[in-house]
Amino acid sequence: MTLDQPSDADRSIAKPETMAKMWKFVENFAEKSGTHLHPQREITEFLVIGLARNADELGKPLCPCMFFEDKQAEIEKKFWICPCEEMQRWKYCH
C-alpha cells in the first residue's frame, strides 16, 4: 500500500518560509530527542504541511492530526502544540 505524494496544491496552503521552518523544526526535534518520524516520508510531509498551515493561521504549530472544535482553546491548553506531550512520551509522531 502506498500513499499519494503531497501535491503542489497541498504544499501551497502554507507559506514556503513556514514550511521550511517546520521541516527544520521536525527534523531537529527528532534528532535531538530520539523521536522517530513516520517511515513513509509523505506522511511526515503531510504532517509538516498541516503544522505550517496552523502556524500561519493560528500562530502556533497545533497538531494537524486531531480535530479541534475550538483551535484557540486548544492552543491555550498547550497539550497539542507540536511536539505534543504524546509525542514527547512515546517518541513517535503519527
The runs of H, that is alpha helices, within 1-94 are: 8-11, 16-33, 41-58, 71-77, 85-90
Residue 6 lies in a domain: no
How far apart are alpha carbons 45 and 86 in whole angstroms? 19
The owner of cell 494537524 is 64
Domain residues for the domain of 42 are 14-90
Residue 9 lies in a domain: no
Residue 5 lies in a domain: no
Number of domains in the chain: 1
> Could you tell me the three cell numbers for 32?
535531538
What confidence score (pLDDT) does residue 35 get? 85
What confidence score (pLDDT) does residue 34 get? 86
Residue 34 lies in a domain: yes
Q: What sign results for the dihedral spanned by CA atoms 81, 26, 40, 87?
A: negative
Candidate list 63, 65, 84, 93, residue with the active-site label: 65
The CATH code of the domain that includes 38 is 3.90.460.10
Residue type, 67: F
Q: Would the pLDDT of 29 be above 80?
A: yes
Instruction: Confirm if 69 and 40 have CB atoms less than 8 A apart.
Output: no
Mean of the pLDDT values across residues 48-74?
94
Q: Is 63 a catalytic residue?
A: no
